[in-house]
């Protein structure tokens, strides 16, 4: 599979995940998709709560699902897409949550921050430089 079709497949998976968003408070549906070295794709969507501060971001849900399925590293790529025209940049907390899984497998995943028409490509290390991760506790 070419890099472009890998990227497009991941963005489509993220967009599909956003269809299950529970976001009646922000009306901002977000979908995230994680690709692992074995080709597995794990998705997540944002889940809001009437107690707003308890809301979960799409990327965090995807990481929790992946770790529940046994993934401990091998994270190669992430796509994030939202229901507004601009690309979605992962929030600070999600960057840190993604780092935990990435560092377990010593990868620096590419993050596709997508909109309907475009996708910016950034490495996790660019989004979260000088990070505190599992290795910092060794
Ligand atoms: N949101 C995400 O799902 N991921 C992010 O990286 C940024 C924000 C969600 C949380 C909330 O449900 C909505 O977007 C508005 O902040």
The closest-lying atom of ligand 1 relative to the alpha carbon of residue 89 is 6
Q: How far apart are the first and last CA of the chain?
A: 38
Question: CATH says 3-129 is which class?
Answer: alpha beta
The pick from 91, 112, 115 for probing ligand 1's pocket by mutation, whose C-beta has the most ligand atoms within 8 angstroms, reads: 91
Expressed in angstroms and rounded, the spacing between residue 72 Cα and the centre of ligand 1 is 24
Contact 79, 98 (CB under 8 A): no
Atom 4 of ligand 1, nearest CA residue: 57
Token pair of 76 as six digits: 């190669």
Confidence class for position 70, pLDDT limits 50, 70, 90? very high
Atom 2 of ligand 1, nearest CA residue: 57
Whole-number Å distance between alpha carbons of 104 and 74:
8
Whether 14 has a pLDDT exceeding 90, the answer reads yes
Q: Quick check: is 76 catalytic?
A: no
Measured at the CA of 85, the angle between CA 56 and CA 102, to 5 degrees, comes to 45
Expressed in angstroms and rounded, the spacing between residue 11 Cα and the centre of ligand 1 is 16
Whether 11 has a pLDDT exceeding 70, the answer reads yes
Cβ neighbours of residue 70 closer than 8 Å, sequence gap 6 or more: none
pLDDT for position 2: 67
- What's the pLDDT tens digit per position in 83-136? 999 999 999 999 999 999 999 999 999 999 999 899 999 999 999 999 999 999
Q: Output the DSSP codes for 24-65.
A: TTT---EEEEEEETTS-EEEEE-B--SSGGG-B-HHHHHHHH
Q: Where are the domains of the chain?
A: 3-129
Ligand 1 pocket, Cβ-based, cut-off 6 angstroms:
23, 26, 28, 30, 46, 48, 55, 57-59, 88, 90-91, 94
């Amino acid at each position: 599979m070419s890099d472009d079709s890998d990227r497009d497949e991941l963005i489509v998976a993220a967009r599909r995940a956003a269809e299950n968003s529970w976001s009646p408070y922000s009306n901002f549906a977000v979908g995230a998709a994680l690709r692992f070295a074995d080709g597995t794709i794990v998705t997540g969507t944002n889940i809001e709560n009437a107690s707003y501060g308890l809301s979960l971001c799409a990327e965090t849900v995807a990481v929790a699902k992946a770790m529940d399925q046994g993934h401990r590293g091998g994270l190669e790529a992430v796509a994030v897409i939202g229901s507004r025209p601009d690309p979605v940049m992962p929030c600070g907390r999600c960057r840190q949550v993604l780092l935990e899984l990435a560092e377990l497998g010593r990868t620096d995943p590419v993050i596709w921050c997508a909109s309907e028409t475009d996708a910016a490509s950034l490495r996790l290390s660019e989004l979260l430089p000088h990070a505190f991760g599992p290795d910092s506790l060794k």
